[in-house]
Amino acid sequence: MTPPSPAPTTASAPALNPVAWGWTMLGDVLDGPFRALQGHIGANRMAYVFLVPNLLVFGLFSFWPMILNFYIAFTGGQSVLLAERPFVGLSNFRELLDCPSYLDPRTCPVAGFSFWTGLWNTLFFAVVQVPIMIVVALVTAVVLNRDIRARGFWRAVFFYPVMLSPVVIAVIWDWILKRRGILNALLDDGTTAWNSLVGGPGYFGVLVAFGLLIGWPLGSLLARRVRTLPPWLLRLGCAVLAAAGLALLAGRSGLTLADYRPINWLIDTRSGWPMFWVIFVYTWGHLGFYMLILLAGLQAIPKDLYEAAEMDGTSKSRAFWRITLPLLMPTMIVVLVLSLIRAFQVFDEVYVLTGGGPGQATKMIIQHVYESAFIGDAKRYGIAAASSVLVAGLLLILTLGQLAATRKKAGG
C-alpha cells in the first residue's frame, strides 16, 4: 500500500521592498496621465516634457542670475532690493571706462583703477597660462596614452589634484612657498650640503653619478642616429662630457654656492615670483582635467592609421605632426575655449595664495568684482555687475574669434 502523497504547498511570494513598492505605485499613478499626454502631443515631443525639470533648475540658477546681473549693471545705490535701486543708465560703465589711458590704470578713478588693473593682470595670466596648460596637458596625454608601466596609476596621479578644492590647493602651496616653508628649507639644506660636498671627498662620486644620470641616456639617444661608433662608446663619452661640464660649472676651484637667504616667494614683487607661482599652482591644479579630455581624443583616433604609417616607414615624430595633431584639433579647440574661459574666471587659488598682492600685482578681474560687491562698507553692486558684463562681452568676442580662426584654418 503506497503512502498518500503530501498535499501540494504554495510557494510564498518574496516580500516586496518598501522602496520598490513605492516606486511601482508612483509609476502606476503617473502611467495614465503620461499616456494621455503622449497621445495628445505625440511621442517625439515627450522628450521635452522630461527635460522641463532640468530646464527649470538651470534657468533658475543660471539664466535668471544672468538677467538679474544685467539689470543691476544699469542701477545705482547700495541696497540689494531691486525696488530700492534707481536706474542710472550707463553711469556705471562710464565710471569704469572713463580713463585717460587704459594702459595705465593709475590715471583712472578708483573703480576704473581696480577694474583695469584686474583686467590687465587677467589678460597676462590667460596669455601665458593657457598655452602652457595646453602644451603640458598634450604632452602628458600623449605619454599616458602609450603602453607604459603603471599607466592607470600615473593617470590617477595627474588627475588627483582636480578632485581637490581650489582652496585646499592654495593652502598646500602656501605652506610650501612661505618664508619658513618647505621650498626654502630644501634650498637651504641643499646649498649647505652642496658646499660641504664640493670641498669634501665625495665630490668625485657626485661627478660620476651626474655623468651617468645625464650623459648615459643622451648617449643612448645618440646611438640610434650614429651607427659608425659602438653604443657603449657613445654612452661613455656623453657621461664623461656631462661630468666634465659639471666640474667646470661648480668644480673645486672655489665656485661654491653662497649662503641661501629664505625668500617669501609670494611677496617679492620685483622678481615676478608671485605671478609665476600663481600660474604654476593654477596649472598644477587643473592640468588633469584637460589631460583627460585630450586623452579621450587620442583614444578616439583609429590605430589603423598608425599601423599604415609604420608600414610606410613614417617616423613617430612625423606621425604625430601629420596624423595625431590634425585629428586631435577638434578636441584641442574645446580645450582651448574651456581653458581660456576658466583662466578669466580664476579667483579661488589667487585670493587664498596671494590675496591679489603684493599690492595689485596678482589681482584678477573676478577679485575686483567680488571686492566691489561684498568688501567694505560701500557695497557697489552696480559697478560689480557692470564689470562682469564687460568681461562677459570680452570673453564672447575672444571665443567667437577663436572659433572663427580655427574653422577657417581647418577649412583651408
Angstrom distance (rounded) from CA 365 to CA 353: 16
pLDDT computed for residue 281 by the predictor: 93
pTM, whole model, 2 decimals?
A: 0.76
pLDDT computed for residue 291 by the predictor: 94
Angstrom distance (rounded) from CA 356 to CA 122: 11
pLDDT computed for residue 54 by the predictor: 87
| C-alpha cell at position 377 | 562698507
Percent of the chain with pLDDT over 70: 82
Percent of the chain with pLDDT over 90: 23
* Closest alpha carbon to 398 in 122, 45, 146: 122
State pLDDT tens for residues 159-180.
999 999 999 999 999 998 888 8
* pLDDT band of 357, cuts 50, 70, 90: confident
Residue ranges of domains in the chain = 91-179+272-411, 182-250
State pLDDT tens for residues 276-296.
999 999 999 999 999 999 999
Helix 110-144 × helix 325-344 angle, to 10°: 150
Mean pLDDT of 71-99: 88
Mean pLDDT of 145-172: 89
Task: Report whether CATH 1.10.3720.10 matches the domain 91-179+272-411.
Answer: yes
3-state secondary structure string, the chain?
Answer: CCCCCCCCCCCCCCCCCHHHHHHHHHHHHHHHHHHHHHHHHCCCCHHHHHHHHHHHHHHHHHHHHHHHHHHHCCECCCCCCHHHCCECCCHHHHHHHCCCCCCCHHHCCHHHHHHHHHHHHHHHHHHHHHHHHHHHHHHHHHHHCCCCCCHHHHHHHHHHHHHCCHHHHHHHHHHHHCCCCHHHHHHHHHHHHHHHHHCCCCHHHHHHHHHHHHHHHHHHHHHHHCCCCCHHHHHHHHHHHHHHHHHHHHCCCCCCCCCCCCCCCCCCCCCCHHHHHHHHHHHHHHHHHHHHHHHHHHHCCCHHHHHHHHHCCCCHHHHHHHHHHHHHHHHHHHHHHHHHHHHHCCCHHHHHHCCCCCCCCCCCHHHHHHHHHHCCCCCCHHHHHHHHHHHHHHHHHHHHHHHHHHHHHHHC
Q: Are 329 and 406 in contact (CB under 8 A)?
A: yes
State pLDDT tens for residues 203-212.
556 666 666 6
Q: Are 85 and 72 in contact (CB under 8 A)?
A: yes
Q: Are 96 and 113 in contact (CB under 8 A)?
A: no
Mean pLDDT of 233-251: 70
* pLDDT band of 135, cuts 50, 70, 90: very high
- pLDDT of 200 above 50: yes
- pLDDT of 13 above 70: no
Indicate the range of 257-266, 334-343, 369-378 predicted with least confidence. 257-266
Q: Which residues of 362-390 are buried (b: 16+ CB within 10 A; e: fewer)?
A: bbbbbbbbebbbeeeeebbbbbbbbbbbb
